[in-house]
Structure 1
Amino acid sequence: MKALQFSRTGDLAALEVVELPTPVPAEGEVLVQIKAAGLNPSDVKNVLGRFPYTTLPRVPGRDFAGVVIEGPESLIGKEVWGTGNKIGFSRNGSHAGYITLPAKGVALKPSSLSFAQAASLGVPYTTAWDALERSLVDAKTRLLVIGANGAVGSAAIALAKVRGAQVLAAVRRPEQVDALKEQGFNAIQLGKPEELAGQVSAVFESGADVIFDTTGFWLPASVQALAPFGRIAIIAAPVDGHVQLPALALYRKGGSVVGINSLLYGVEECARMLEQFGQLFDEGKLPLPTGLVETPIEEGLGRYAEVNQGSTDKVILIP
């Protein structure tokens, strides 16, 4: 099978298109013929050596959709999708023609999603789902999502809308504000950090109950925009990993910070998440992905480079 593989880290030049034998599933595993695989920024960072627990040589890739070829009789021929923390890191990932993983680590693909659409959703949607779950977002929640135009941010506002939360989306550019308003979301344009609290209080009088910062740069300002007993969920940080937290303001508000890391969840836990929100696509409650860039896996090296250079295209690799 054709696959992308790297045997060293630190440079995207380490990534190669190679020919590998089709993997053989162990007892309790399935063999999935991959029809589409998502390319996430974390896949690029993996090749660059940002994850010290990655073992080499390794096929990268976390998200996939495909068809079960071998495994339990009840799953053979089924269209499935999946993601998880070990694939692409300590076991071969999805940027290949086939993948093996535990049978309980795949979920049935929603019929409303194509293979490419399903492959685009794993990391963004499980991250957003986890953020909403662990920060207790429900129909009574006033939610601010910073970076609502990104993959995780757009997933968060869509999922929060289904939960009935009051959603305020914050983005950088005026055209992004206009696009969100056309989708039916209340939106604001981010300016200076010290202005955020005023912008939020103009919409949510006493502040936001939950703030989900998908960018890593708005934690200090978010404390000022928080309602009493509010929660701030974060999935990113500045390059050096540090930020100055106004602890006095945070504890006076009874606030808390919730760290969200999709790499804490294995394929079986992720499959359960996919099952929960996957049905919402078939019920017409979540928007179907659009604007995907489908690319043959042989051209994946160039796509990796584009993502590393800041491209926001959602790339789908097709074996």
Structure 2
Amino acid sequence: MLALVLEQRVSNDGAKELSYDLRELPLPSLEEEERSSQVEVASQHHQQEESGHAVIKVYASAIHPSDLLNSRGGFPYTTFQQTGTSNVGHQGPYRVLGRDLSGVVQSVSRGASLSAQTWINKQVVCTSGYDLSFSRHGTSAQYVVLPLSALVEKPSSLSWSQAALLGVPLQTASLMIQRAQIQAYEEGRQQQKLDMLVLGCSGNVGRMLVELLRSTGHNIITAARGTGAMLNLASAAGADEGSPSWTEQLKELTGSKGADIIFDCTGNFEVQSASLCVLAKFGKFLFIAAPKGGAPGSTVLGIDMMRMYRLGQSLLGVNSLLYDVAQANAQLNHSLALIDHTKPLLAQEEIEEVPLRLAKQTYDLLNGKQGRAGKKYCIVFDEAH
């Protein structure tokens, strides 16, 4: 089968070098996966939620910012599978890239339960957790082996690429809400209606977050750089985070108290610093990325600890890579149930589909920051058309 792999080579001076390209690989084996999983389970002293695995025929595999970062060696915990000499000569240790997929279940483990066998021929989606493309081969391949406990049924109203692009952003948005411990607002109860600010509402995670927050009944304020429709994505008041006065806008919208919960999906140093100044008493600030744009190479954000202490505020980091593939997909499945799939979060026109044979060139393009503005990229396989 054909796959996009990240390869590690050691130069003559001992330095490790990374590169990515398409590679022909053997078809994945359920038996081999079962053996390696048994060793892993024994070494970690835990049991899987549901035993057994499935072979997935991949129809679409997303290209997320974290996939690009992984292709550049940005994750120190990515491991590489050893390999030997093949019919194309010596090849270095490798890891198949890709965190999210949509596809069809081809087969399940021999001896699997009757309920597990019902997955055969079903359309599924899957997201990575800390496994896929890091310690287990990822989704940018014609076939992938996954634990049965990681399978999530694909919404029938979504195209292959629309479904594949949901995983990481939707799971991350779900985790942000979970960490914020938001209780849904109900009229008539003695309960404060919260003012919640979503920074970066036009991005992948931001728009998923806004959609999930709708069901809470609280006030949603969205902020994105520039002007246009994205400022009103939540059918609520919008603010332009690129404007010097956006913090004043926020104060006006919240009766001067500031936001009770701030969800930062930007990772922007200036935006993060400014937003902390308009966080309300007992407010929570949740973020999914270290600050960029401060001192060169620094991920440090200056915080007024005295102010935060006096106002009883909380700073919460949210990282989707703290969960294994089964846990991540349980979160994804829960979130999918909360979304109206008759109105896709990603219109098909927003998606740039690329065939697997052009995956390397597309990674090169996006790593060079030359992708088409406003487009989400997804690798699609011939069967998806």
Provide Cα deviations, 1:13-63, integer angstroms capped at 9, x if missing partner: 811111111101234111100011100111111121111111121001000
The change in CA–CA distance for 1:108 and 1:256 in structure 2 (over 3 A counts) is: same
Residues 103, 124 of structure 2: 8 Å contact kept: yes
- Secondary structure of the residue that 1:7 maps to in structure 2? strand
Which amino acid in the other structure matches residue 262 of structure 1?
S
How far, CA to CA, are the matches of 2:342 and 2:242 in structure 1? 35
Question: What's the counterpart of residue 301 of structure 1?
Answer: 360
Q: Which of the two has higher C-alpha Rg?
A: 2
The structure showing larger relative contact order (alpha-carbon pairs under 8 Å, at least 6 residues apart) is 1
Residues 232, 257 of structure 1: 8 Å contact kept: yes
The change in CA–CA distance for 1:227 and 1:182 in structure 2 (over 3 A counts) is: closer
Using the aligned pairs only, state the percent identity.
35
How far, CA to CA, are the matches of 1:86 and 1:315 in structure 2? 22
How far, CA to CA, are the matches of 1:164 and 1:236 in structure 2? 27
Residues 18, 72 of structure 2: 8 Å contact kept: no
Which amino acid in the other structure matches residue 197 of structure 2?
L
- Secondary structure of the residue that 1:242 maps to in structure 2? coil
Question: What's the counterpart of residue 236 of structure 1?
Answer: 289
Which amino acid in the other structure matches residue 317 of structure 1?
I
* TM-align CA RMSD: 2.2
Shift of 1:120: 0.6
The change in CA–CA distance for 1:285 and 1:142 in structure 2 (over 3 A counts) is: farther
Out of 133-142 and 77-86, give the one that drifted further. Answer: 133-142
How far, CA to CA, are the matches of 2:259 and 2:345 in structure 1? 25
Which amino acid in the other structure matches residue 79 of structure 2?
T
Query: Aligned to 1:18, which of 23, 27, 35?
Result: 23
The change in CA–CA distance for 1:182 and 1:67 in structure 2 (over 3 A counts) is: closer
Shift of 1:161: 1.5
Question: What's the counterpart of residue 112 of structure 1?
Answer: 157
The change in CA–CA distance for 1:47 and 1:226 in structure 2 (over 3 A counts) is: same
2:269 paired with 1:226: no
Question: What's the counterpart of residue 314 of structure 1?
Answer: 376
Provide Cα deviations, 1:78-132, integer angstroms capped at 9, x if missing partner: 1111112211011110011011111001111112222211101111111111111
Point out where structure 2 has 5 or more consecutive residues left out of the alignment. 10-14, 35-51, 81-93, 109-115, 186-192
Residues 281, 288 of structure 1: 8 Å contact kept: no
Point out where structure 1 has 5 or more consecutive residues left out of the alignment. none
For normalisation by structure 1, the TM-score amounts to 0.92
Aligned residues: 316
Shift of 1:197: 3.6
Shift of 1:65: 0.7
How far, CA to CA, are the matches of 1:6 and 1:181 in structure 2? 40
How far, CA to CA, are the matches of 1:305 and 1:164 in structure 2? 43
Provide Cα deviations, 1:153-172, integer angstroms capped at 9, x if missing partner: 11111111132231111111
2:238 paired with 1:180: no
For normalisation by structure 2, the TM-score amounts to 0.77
Which amino acid in the other structure matches residue 239 of structure 2?
I
Out of 76-85 and 10-19, give the one that drifted further. Answer: 10-19
Which amino acid in the other structure matches residue 221 of structure 1?
A
Shift of 1:201: 1.2
Which amino acid in the other structure matches residue 149 of structure 1?
S
**4+ aligned runs moved over 6 Å, structure 1:** 9-13
